[in-house]
């Protein structure tokens, strides 16, 4: 295969071509990223409201006076994750690239940290306001992000290349 044909078919000039896991891995990441984009939008703009935040702060014993400022910052961070997850949807194009792999790892690793960083009072406040459905967006996006990182790092360890490509 010529270098030009190699690059056109998803390899690089260094001789890497898509391996057996590349397609399924990229479809998994692309679909997960689509779900996380929607879930993050729901969490940031539907579930986390001034009322939910105020209740969370009361449950945590904090002063609820700073709800508006906190909500603005929270939503700005949410928008950053919506954009980051939307970039991950590009994996559905099934054109492996190193930059996309590492962006997906970075976005998902930091989003997975939400499992530890979101105070339990937030889940309580969301459940009180919306029922069990209120905690789903955060659990799916943050927990799912952890799964994506584990799968991608496992693939990286097994193949020693991003996206499971082979020489």
Identify whether the C-beta of residue 105 lies closer than 8 Å to the C-beta of residue 149: yes
Task: Name the residue ranges covered by the structural domains of the chain.
Answer: 20-164
Identify whether the C-beta of residue 134 lies closer than 8 Å to the C-beta of residue 126: yes
Long-range pairs for 134-137: beta carbons < 8 A, 24 or more residues apart: 134/47, 134/52, 136/39, 137/39, 137/40, 137/42, 137/43, 137/46, 137/47
The confidence score (pLDDT) of residue 89 equals 97
Which tokens is 156 given?
A: 């990286």
| CA nearest neighbour of 35 among 133, 141, 116, 118 | 141
Residue 1, number of CB atoms within 10 A of its CB: 11
Q: How long a stretch of residues is the chain? A: 167
The confidence score (pLDDT) of residue 48 equals 94
> What's the gap between Cα 105 and its chain centre?
8
Which tokens is 108 given?
A: 């998902």
DSSP, residue by residue, 83-144:
HHHHHHGGGGG----HHHHHHHHHHHHHHHTHHHHS-HHHHHHHHHHH-GGGGHHHHHHHHH
Tens-binned pLDDT, residue by residue, of the chain (167 aa): 443 444 444 445 466 677 777 888 999 999 999 999 999 999 999 999 999 999 999 999 988 888 989 899 999 999 999 999 999 999 999 888 899 999 999 999 999 999 899 899 999 999 999 999 999 999 999 999 999 999 999 999 988 889 877 76
The confidence score (pLDDT) of residue 15 equals 63
pTM of the model as a whole: 0.85
The confidence score (pLDDT) of residue 7 equals 41
């Amino acid at each position: 295969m010529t270098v030009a044909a190699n690059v056109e078919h998803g390899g690089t000039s260094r001789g890497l071509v898509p391996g057996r896991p590349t397609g399924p891995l990229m479809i998994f990441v692309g679909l997960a990223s689509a779900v996380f984009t929607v879930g993050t939008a729901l969490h940031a703009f539907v579930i986390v409201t001034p009322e939910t935040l105020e209740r969370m702060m009361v449950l945590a014993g904090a002063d609820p006076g700073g709800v508006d400022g906190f909500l603005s910052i929270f939503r700005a961070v949410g928008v950053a994750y919506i954009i980051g997850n939307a970039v991950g949807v590009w994996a559905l194009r099934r054109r492996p690239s190193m930059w996309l792999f590492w962006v997906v790892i970075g976005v998902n690793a930091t989003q997975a940290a939400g499992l530890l960083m979101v105070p339990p009072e937030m889940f309580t406040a969301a459940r009180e306001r919306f029922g069990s459905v209120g905690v789903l967006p955060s659990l799916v996006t943050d927990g799912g992000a952890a799964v994506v990182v584990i799968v991608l790092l496992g693939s990286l360890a097994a193949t020693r290349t991003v996206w499971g490509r082979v020489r």
